[in-house]
Chain A
Amino acid sequence: MTLLTIILMALITFTTRYLFIHPRLPVRLGAKMAKLLSFSAPAVLTAIWVPIIFVQQGQLNVSLNNPYLIAASFAVLAAAKSKSIYLTMLVGLITFIISRYFFVL
């Protein structure tokens, strides 16, 4: 049963990725649509990371007790200043570990 579930799940994830790059699909993208889609990367990726920072167990957490928020603030600054992916990750992870495990405010 689990095996069947996994195989069907694989079909679904593949279909969602592949469907719109299939050439026979009768979809034409106009210039306006292409322009709109050019905003998809910042839009989707942001909609993935922001809730991780602010929402825990279904609750909004905007406080200094939220290690995610503190570390993310430093990471955003690091990313804006350095534009370096490694430095941003390093700053984020170090501030996260410090604020989560050492600094219980």
Chain B
Amino acid sequence: MVLTKKQARLLMVKKGFLDMLPLNLAVLPWGILCGSLAIQRDFSAFEAILMPLIVFAGSAQLVAIELIANNASLATILFTTFIISSRHFLYGLALRDKLKVLPTPWRYGLGFLLTDELFALSGHSKAFVGQLRLVYALVAGGSFYLFWLLWNVTGVIAGSYLPDLTHLGLDFAIAVTFIALVIPTIINLPILVTVIVAGLLSVLFKLMAFELDLVAAALIAMYCGYLTERFQQKYSAASSDGHNGDTRQILKDK
């Protein structure tokens, strides 16, 4: 089947939308929580909607709403926002070589849309390469932005009618989404090591109330995954020095 350019583009629009759809639905409770919490903490409707519109960050919004409501200093609010957002530096670095070559509007646009969710869908080795994959990323990231806005606005409108949602366990929706995204990507030992180390350290650092818990746990886990892979390669190279060609082949296939 030969596709015209237009048909191919339409197909990518559809795929981008459908791939992001479960994530768009999963942040419904979280978005409503953000919107309604802002209203309950005496933000104006305009301020409450400006948050998802320009800040566009779930956990940073939520924490900042509580901080602002408690009259925290501007420096505290901004520093906390920076700490929570600092994981995005890793996303930018990981995608740097693919995104830095794009024309300016694409770069700014995709940069703005680069959430945890879009990053989670950007694992393909050719992600963002070529116009069709850009369309895919734009629709996936853009639809996430629109849904996030929609859920927040819903929360703002429902705001004062809703009870305090902060202790209902809505954060489980986020956890289960990331479980669904991460577990199937564990296809080899280095990734398994990465996931286990990240899980253990993130819990440990959280219990220690270490501010950079997330990023520190992730960085150390990445390094452990990297070392595991290096070790595997060394081991397979060493065994190939002997006569055991079969072992080498098996190790390589892993």
Contacts and interface: CB of A to CB of B under 8 A. Distances in A.
Residue of B64, B122, B202 most packed against chain A (CB within 10 A): B202
Contacts of B213: 47, 51
A75 B88 CA distance: 26
Interface in B54-104: 54-57, 60, 64, 68, 74, 77-78, 81-82, 85-97, 99-101
A43 B174 contact: no
Contact of A9 (B60, B86, B95, B175): B60
A50 B176 contact: no
A17 B245 CA distance: 46
Given A89-B180, A100-B169, A21 B111 contact: yes
A18 B114 CA distance: 8
B185 A42 contact: yes
A20 B47 contact: no
B43 interface: yes
A3 B178 CA distance: 32
Contact of B74 (A5, A17, A46, A54): A5
A34 B173 CA distance: 31
B94 A6 contact: no
B217 interface: yes
A16 B88 contact: yes
A67 to B, nearest CB: 7
B251 interface: no
- By DSSP majority rule, is chain B's interface helix, strand, loop, or mixed? helix
B25 to A, nearest CB: 8
| Residue with the greatest number of chain A CB neighbours at <10 A, chosen from B55, B176, B195, B201 | B176
Interface string A32-52: 111111111111111111111
B129 to A, nearest CB: 14
- Which of A13, A23, A39, A55 has the largest count of B CB atoms less than 10 A from its CB? A39
Nearest to B192: A42
B179 A76 contact: yes
Interface of A: 2-10, 12-14, 16-23, 27, 29, 32-55, 58-60, 67-68, 71-72, 75-76, 79-80, 83-86, 88-89, 92-93, 96, 100
16 contacts: A6-B50, A6-B51, A16-B85, A16-B88, A18-B111, A29-B93, A29-B96, A41-B123, A42-B182, A43-B217, A51-B203, A68-B175, A79-B182, A80-B186, A85-B22, A89-B180
Pairs A-B, 7 closest by C-beta atoms: A20-B92, A92-B176, A79-B183, A18-B111, A88-B180, A47-B202, A10-B54
Interface of B: 22, 26, 43-44, 47, 50-51, 54-57, 60, 64, 68, 74, 77-78, 81-82, 85-97, 99-101, 107-108, 110-112, 114, 116, 119-120, 122-123, 169, 171-186, 190-191, 194-195, 197-199, 201-203, 206-207, 209, 213-215, 217-219, 221-223, 225-226, 229
